[in-house]
Amino acid sequence: MTTATHHPSAKKPPLSTRAMRRVLRGLPPKRHDIAYEPGLAVPAADGSTLLTDHYFPLADGDFPTLLVRSPYGRGFPWAPMYGVLFAEQGFHVVLQSCRGTGGSGGAFDLWRHEAADGRATVDWLREQPWFTGALGTIGASYLGYVQWALALEPPPELRAMVVHVGLHDMHRYFYPAGALALENTLTSTMGLTSQHRGTRNLLRGSLRLQRHLPKIQRNLPLGEAYVPGLGGRVPFLEDALAHPDPEDAHWQGVDMGVAAERQTVPTCLVTGWHDVGLDQTLQQYGRLRRAGCDAALLVGPWTHHSALQEGWPEVFAESLAWLRAHLCDDPSGLRRTRARVHVGGRQAWQDLPDWPPATTGRHWYLDGDGTLRTRIPENTSAAGSFRYDPADPTPSVGGPLLSGKAGYQDNTALEARDDVLTFTTAPLTEPVDVLGPVRVELRVTTDTGHADVFARLCDVDDRGRSTNVCDGLRRLRPVAATDTTEAAPAAVTVAMSSTAHRFPAGHRIRLQVSGGAHPRFARHTGTGEPPATATRLLPSEVALHHPSRLVLPVAEEEPAGTGPAH
C-alpha cells in the first residue's frame, strides 16, 4: 500500500521537475498526485553508495516499480520524463545515479559495473515495503545500456523493458564502421563528464567543446588535440582511443547485446531514422525476434535527441502502453502490430507485422556519366574517381549526430565538391518505397590501400534539392601484394543503415560516394597509423569500377496499414 504516511521523508517534486507537463502537448492526463524521496542511499555491489530518488503516487494501492539508472545525474530531463510522468500514471519510479556520478560513491568506469550494480539495486528493492515484485526498466541512450546489462542475468521480478534510443555495444558506438565517430564521441564524453554535475556544468562543458572543436578537427594527434575541448584528460576516452580493435582485451565484456539472444523479458525498442543508436536497436530487435521474445519496435523521423523532445508524446504513449500491458495486466493500449515506422517522403506512420518487411532487392548500377541505371553499363571505363585529401577532408552534413545539425539536411553544397561523386536516376515515373537495410556493392581501387568509402542515399526533389536519407562508411585496408602489376578492384560492400522512405514520382534517387564525413568520422589520415597518435596526412586516389551497384529493398505493393502524419 502506498500513501504519504508510508514515506516520512517524502516531499513534493520541485516545480522545475513538474513543469514538463505544461510544456509538452499530447500527454495523457495524470492519474495521481505524486511525491518523492530524494537522496536515498542504496548499496552498490561493492558497498559504495548509489544515490537514488524515489517518485511515487500519493494514493492507496499497490503499484509496479520502474528502475532508471543514469550516469547523467537525476535531474533534468530524467526527473520530469521518467520520475514525474510515470509516477503520475501509477508507478513507483526509482531514479538512480550510477557509481561515481551524481553524488554516488565509487569511481565511474564506463560499462564495467553496470550489471553488478543493477542487481544490487534490485536486491535493495526487495527490502522495500512498497515493492510488489513487479519490476520494469526504462531509459534512453546509456540508460538503455544499463538495462541490457541487467538483462544478462535478469532478476525474476523483471517483467518488462523499454529502451529509448539505446545502445548495447560501446565499442560499436565509438567505432561504428571501423572509423572513430569523432564528433559524437566528443559530445557524449562531454555529457558523461559534466551533466551529472548539473545543468550549469553541462552548459559550460558544451560551450567549451564548441569553442575548441574546430581546433580538434584540424590538429593531430587526436590523443592530444581533444584535451582542451574536454577540460582535461578523460580515462575512458583515452582507453577507447588507444584500443581501436574490437578484439582487443580492453573491450572484453563491453557488448551487452548477447542478452537479447536469450531474452524472455518483453521488450519495447524505440529509435529514430537519424538516431546514433539506430543500427544497434535494429540488431537487438532482430535478436529478440529470433529468440521468440515478445518485442515491439517504434522508429520515428527522429534524431537521438529529438525522439525525447518533439517525439516524446509518441514515445511516452508507446512506453506507457507497453508497461501497463506487462506490469499491470492492461493490454488495452497496445497496437496490433509489432513494428511501427515513420515513412519519409510520405510523412506518414506505417504499421507492419515485423521489421524488416518482405521486399524485393532492386539494383541501380553506377555509370561513368553520373547516372544510376537499372542495367549494367556497357562501357568498361571506370565509374568515377576522386582524390581524398585529409588536409581538406570531405565534411559531414546531417545524419545521425548528437549536435543540432543532425537529421535531414540539404546536401547541395556538399555534392558540389570535387571529392564527392554523385550518381542519380532520371525522374521517377512512379513512387519507389524503400523499407529495410540499404547497401551499395562497389568495386574499388586505391593507390595507397588506406581509405574510407562513405556512401549516402539521397532524395532529390523536383527543385533539385538533395536531402540525405541514410548512409554508411567502410574502412578499407591494404591487401597482400601479388605478382600482378596492377591490382584488381576489390569488392566492397558498404552497409548504409536502414530506412523507410518513399521517393515520390518526379523525384530522383541519388547515391553519393566520397572518402569520408568529417568530423562525424575522424578523417582517414591515409597512413594506417592508430587514430590517437597519427600525425602524418597522406592523400589517396579512389576509383570505382564496373559493375558497382546500389541495392534498395523496395516494397512492390502499395503500403498497407498506414496512419496519418504526426
Q: Which domains does the chain have, with CATH numbers?
A: 4-172+251-352 (3.40.50.1820), 173-250 (no CATH), 360-563 (2.60.120.260)
What would the pLDDT profile of 395-424 be if each residue is shown by its tens digit? 999 999 998 899 999 999 999 999 999 999
Tell me, what's the pLDDT at 167? Answer: 97
- pLDDT category at 49 given cuts 50, 70, 90 is very high
State percent of the chain over pLDDT 70: 93
Round to whole Å and give the CA distance between 164 and 70.
13
Residue 483 reports pLDDT greater than 60: no
Residue 559 reports pLDDT greater than 60: no
pLDDT average, residue stretch 535-546:
96
- pLDDT category at 8 given cuts 50, 70, 90 is low
Tell me, what's the pLDDT at 378? Answer: 81
What would the pLDDT profile of 452-473 be if each residue is shown by its tens digit? 999 999 999 999 999 999 999 9
Tell me, what's the pLDDT at 478? Answer: 81
The DSSP string of 212-227 is HHHHHHH-S-HHHHTH
334 vs 488, which has greater pLDDT? 334
Q: In what order do the strands lie in the sheet with 420-424?
A: 420-424, 508-514, 451-460, 466-476
**Angle between helix 114-126 and 142-151 (nearest 10):** 70
Q: Would you put residue 488 in left (φ > 0), alpha (ψ -120 to 50) or beta?
A: beta
pLDDT average, residue stretch 50-58:
98
What would the pLDDT profile of 20-38 be if each residue is shown by its tens digit? 666 667 789 999 999 999 9
Which string of b and e fits 7-23 if b means at least 16 CB within 10 Å? beebeebeeebbebeee
pLDDT average, residue stretch 238-244:
96
What would the pLDDT profile of 329-385 be if each residue is shown by its tens digit? 999 999 999 999 999 999 999 999 999 999 999 999 999 999 999 999 887 678 999
- What are the angstrom distances between the C-alpha of 390 and each of 84, 336, 533? 48, 50, 15
Tell me, what's the pLDDT at 88? Answer: 97
pLDDT average, residue stretch 117-128:
98
Tell me, what's the pLDDT at 205? Answer: 97
